[in-house]
Structure 1
């Protein structure tokens, strides 16, 4: 049985109400109408793929929670366009809690993000399906498709791998890629749980002893390779007051950029496409009124050695000053990627998997949270450019926060993906005042020489 990692369990605690809830979402747009039968076929493949699983508790103290196949799923969620095709061709699924009261007609462009933001409800990686496939007709023609899943099930690259496997399996030549056997496997206590428990306890006791010996009588350098982040030493600049939860609200944006122009701009400024991305997010936050002269950026790092649907990431950080350029940020990021955030107090990260959830949450609270989050998802596979016979004109990947009440330190999160001749930038502002966000984006892009376009 596959076991949850420490990162998986951090996201499981947020699902249980400890911290900021997070779901991941992939969005596709096609210029033509997508057939419900095709969407149902994709849904069926996702259901028996690697997203089709749920968390089960261990019955042995110290053993990690495990993954069990789960082929039950939320039904395909279709927002119909009854003016274009018959209701029997585009069935009306239960959508009242996703539709935000706007009726069952096609979506106008300005309603796409509010609709997509509403799709994270009822995702449960433990006791119900943790993912949902949704689609809506657009009033200007075409279709938008959304795959939304709990962050417990996968990170952004993992979600992309799941989608890629489902789309490739539409081709009979690849019909078995990424699929699990149909039907749920009966969960039972096995000798592997005892083995896992022994391994966990040996690691915890040994690592804790080493940590204590390092700290007494003197403190040594912190470990630099653990996945669970610790809070860094103060930079001397107090963090900006994020405001109370009642003062803060979400503001999502989706923007596109010409890839050739983005790459040329980065090269001209002495940076890379990634350092230009980080530079832009920081300057959007400053333009939006962030008062401090230093912004601390959280930078997720994909740690996969092979394609798989998991949370397989670590986090590092850099401090950005107002005079930093894409060139200086390139050097800072390059160094930071070699030194990942470490586990709390130098203790072995596995300790978070054997202590009670609320203790673990307290110990890891705020892990990875900085002033901004810059998640470079990278180049998407060519397989996501086409869904059956339909070309995808726009593809985006991002995080959403369904039912958020506990706002993080993070003020602005950016998710950058590259497909073909386009970079797509998904922004989620979590600040107290987002009224000037669009103006801040325009000013930051103009200062850098970038030209955003609506998604």
Structure 2
């Protein structure tokens, strides 16, 4: 029997916002090609994604307290290629609409979508969207890379022995032939299959019941760990939130609308600028984001959130495996200044994470899954611990991520958003600015979202402030 992949604590946030608010947190990879790839190459890419970790669905547990489980989906979306063309200046509008409106569903599917459109200058833009609940950023990019190179793999796609259709498929027949064989088997021996189906359902219930008991025990252990972490946290050098109180996010963002900017820079140039100022790729990234936010009048004291991958090399079944560290940025950091202090702060935060020091609430995630959603929402929205800046570096990927058939993308971008945020409700996804960076070959690209409408009232405000900050650091860049 194939291993059962259950929802993990890192998935909880994305499931909770879906259940509580009706949001779908969606991630997007964008490729900008100088020419349109061949239709056959696009179709091959889509077909390989069918076999990737993105092509999954969530099956709800049948007993209380048990975690929902993942299965490889037996369906997938069709490739979409727009018939008309869009102007170069409409790339952001087109890709933003796709990000906000892709109809993705973790239970009934599909959980991802591939869509492209030609550009009037002869180029082509390709968008891959996927639910964050299914995969975090690095998992999604890795799956796309594997599909582009022809080697996609989802461990959940291995056929379980007790499933007759999977057994037939495993014997060498294709999916359609397998389904025909199962129908013939059903016609000739309905009683056998009914018995097998009932046995499987009972087996699933037993597994769910055992998992539920285990989750109750895990939640109890988590409470103890949270108490110990709280004690350590009080006596540690972990940063204290020194930000002054500000109006709630829904007051500063009444329309629940964000603006975008995407920047590409040559990797060697970016690294050179960072070294000149005593920093690293990541600290220059943080400094640019924080500087643009401060220049908007947002405030000086900022909380910086830095996601960190916690995925083990042999962990290829889970969707999300991301932790995070926080850095308090209090001192002024002028463009072209010294990045050394920020670099030391980041190093200390990463050291604490490597030593196993986590915020107390992290240990309570198993408990969160057992509590009524209304209680969790009330607790989660009572504070103001959301970072002002989120700087997510997905890492380095080779040129294979840029190549589709015989066409190589000039740049690849990554970003994310929550669909379904209701302006009439007091809840918002994101505050200040969030950014996602990715290196492909010799190009470093990062997309930035500004969520605070009070300080970014016009669509071009973010682009202007970001460009001015980059100029201040002496960074030669290209805006999308």
TM-score range, shorter chain: 0.7 to 0.9
Contact in 2 for aligned 1:251/1:434 (Cα 8 Å)? no
Q: Is the 8 A contact 2:219 2:367 kept in 1?
A: yes
Q: 1:256 aligns with which of 258, 264, 269?
A: 264
Shift of 1:58: 0.9
Question: 1:3 Cα shift?
Answer: 0.6
C-alpha contact (below 8 Å) 1:162/1:178 kept by paired residues: no
| Displacement after TM superposition at 1:203 (Å) | 1.8
Partner residue in 2 for 1:108: 87
* Contact map agreement 2:260 2:463 (CA 8 A) in 1: no
| 1:51 partner SS | coil
Task: Find the aligned partners of 1:390 and 1:416 in 2 and give their Cα distance.
Answer: 22
1:193 shift after superposition? 2.6
* Unmatched 5+ stretches in structure 2: 167-196
- Counterpart of 1:75? 78
Local SS of the residue matching 1:15: helix
Render the CA deviation track for 1:312-334: whole Å, top value 9, x for unaligned. 10011101134244221111111
In the alignment, which of 33, 36, 40 is matched to residue 43 of structure 2? Answer: 40
Q: Which moved more, 1:63-72 or 1:185-194?
A: 185-194
Partner of 1:88 in structure 2? none
Counting only pairs closer than 5 Å after superposition, residues 108-127 of structure 1 correspond to structure 2 as 108-120=87-99, 121=101, 122-127=103-108
Q: Unaligned stretches of 5+ in structure 1?
A: 81-104, 225-230
CA distance in 2, matches of 1:210, 1:132: 40
Aligned equivalents of 1:72 and 1:361: distance in 2? Answer: 33
Provide Cα deviations, 1:192-245, integer angstroms capped at 9, x if missing partner: 333322321222223435656x69xxx722499xxxxxx985415224654354
Corresponding residue for residue 28 of structure 1: 31
1:320 aligns with 2:334: no
Task: Name whichever of 426-435 and 371-380 sits farther off.
Answer: 426-435
Give the distance between the partners of 1:161 and 1:236, measured in 2 at CA.
37
Distance 2:270 2:133 in 1: 33
Equivalent position of 2:157 in the other structure: 180
Query: Partners of 1:330 and 1:209 in 2: how far apart?
Result: 33
1:379 lines up with 2:388 in the alignment = no
- Cα pair distance change 1:441/1:161, threshold 3 Å: same
Does residue 163 in structure 1 map to residue 171 in structure 2?
A: no
Which one has a larger percent helix, Structure 1 or Structure 2? 2
TM-score, scaled to structure 2: 0.79
2:371 equivalent in structure 1: 355
CA 1:384–1:416: 2 relative to 1, 3 Å: same
Tell me if the contact between 1:168 and 1:177 (Cα under 8 Å) persists in the aligned partners. no
| Rounded Cα–Cα distance in structure 2 between residues aligned with 1:206 and 1:427 | 38
Root-mean-square deviation over aligned CA pairs: 2.9
Given the alignment of the two structures, is residue 151 of structure 1 paired with residue 166 of structure 2, yes or no?
A: no
1:372 is displaced (CA, Å) by 1.0
- What is the CA deviation profile of residues 358-382 of structure 1, one whole-angstrom value per residue up to 9, with x for unaligned ones? 3333344479731111111111233
TM-score by length of 1: 0.83
What's the secondary structure of 1:249's corresponding residue?
coil
Corresponding pairs, count = 416
Change (3 A) 1:153 1:317: same
